[in-house]
Amino acid sequence: MARSFSSLCFLAAGTAEAQASRDQMIRVYGNSPREEADVLVVLGGDGFMLQVLHETMNSGKLVYGMNRGTVGFLMNDYRLDGLPERIAAASENDFHPLKMSTVSADGAETTALAINEVSLLRQSYQAAKLRVLIDGQERLDELICDGLLVATPVGSTAYNLSAHGPILPLDSPLLALTPVCPFRPRRWRGALLPDRVTVDIEIIESEKRPVNAVADNVEVKSVVAVKVQQADDVTARILSDPDHSWSERILAEQFAN
């Protein structure tokens, strides 16, 4: 079903290419103030798109991205012509991010949201030792590794895929729990979890084996405990061209050379 909208606001990454594209778009379509626009058109790469999605969560704003970066998995193809028609026909994907809650070695507590993944990574030459609980039940009493990821379907083709984690269809109610370079248990390659579970990760020997926790671009150093769960009260909204939908991108990624 085609959507109706009356105003666009163009946002661009700091690169020369993205800024030049924004100037072109504004000359053709005009530019509404960000707070008044129905749709935010993002020009840049995946990093800039994630930044805008974080800024617009729960705002009700629709975000339509066009690739002026490198990979552009979250973006549509860039074209100057026919933008209103493309947006009117675009498919909408609404999704909930992950909420990361951490306790640091000094007792400080931090909360941050992640659209792609929450990652725990060793801070020094020492491998991390982690205890993993799912909904309060211990599933791994000791995981020795370089790190551990909890990835959303949106983020399953990012760091998670590089760590040999599974690609998740965007409409799947799942999370990927993926180790980074696991040493013990040597044969453990991760797990698929319902997206309603709570994942608790405790750092064993945290002083000897310090670990940092990262939610997208928010990093917390020297954590001793991390809780990850879906933030059901937070929503981001993104638009994709019907012939380049996120579901199609997920399928294409699995058959890429």
Q: Along the chain (257 residues), what's the average pLDDT of each consecutive run of 10 residues? A: 78 97 97 95 94 93 94 89 94 92 97 97 96 98 97 91 90 94 91 97 97 96 98 93 71 67
Single-letter amino acid, residue 183: F
Q: Which CATH superfamily is domain 98-230 in?
A: Probable inorganic polyphosphate/atp-NAD kinase; domain 2 (2.60.200.30)
pLDDT reported for residue 246: 63
Sequence length of the chain is 257
Residues 6+ apart with CB under 8 A from 155: 114, 115, 116, 117
Q: Count the helices and strands in the chain (H runs, E runs).
A: 5, 17
User: Which CATH homologous superfamily contains domain 8-95+235-254?
Assistant: Probable inorganic polyphosphate/atp-NAD kinase; domain 1 (3.40.50.10330)
pLDDT at 74: 85
Which residues are annotated binding-site positions for NAD(+)?
Answer: 46-47, 116-117, 146, 154, 157-162
Alpha carbon distance 29, 32 (integer Å): 10
Domain boundaries, the chain: 8-95+235-254, 98-230
Q: Where are the beta strands (DSSP E) in 115-198?
A: 117-122, 128-134, 137-145, 147-151, 174-180, 191-194
Residues marked active site are found at: 46
In contact, 99 and 134? CB cutoff 8 Å: no
Exposed, middle or buried by CB within 10 Å (0-12, 13-18, 19+), for 188? middle
pLDDT on residue 245 = 62
pLDDT at 24: 97
Rounded to two decimals, what is the model's pTM? 0.86
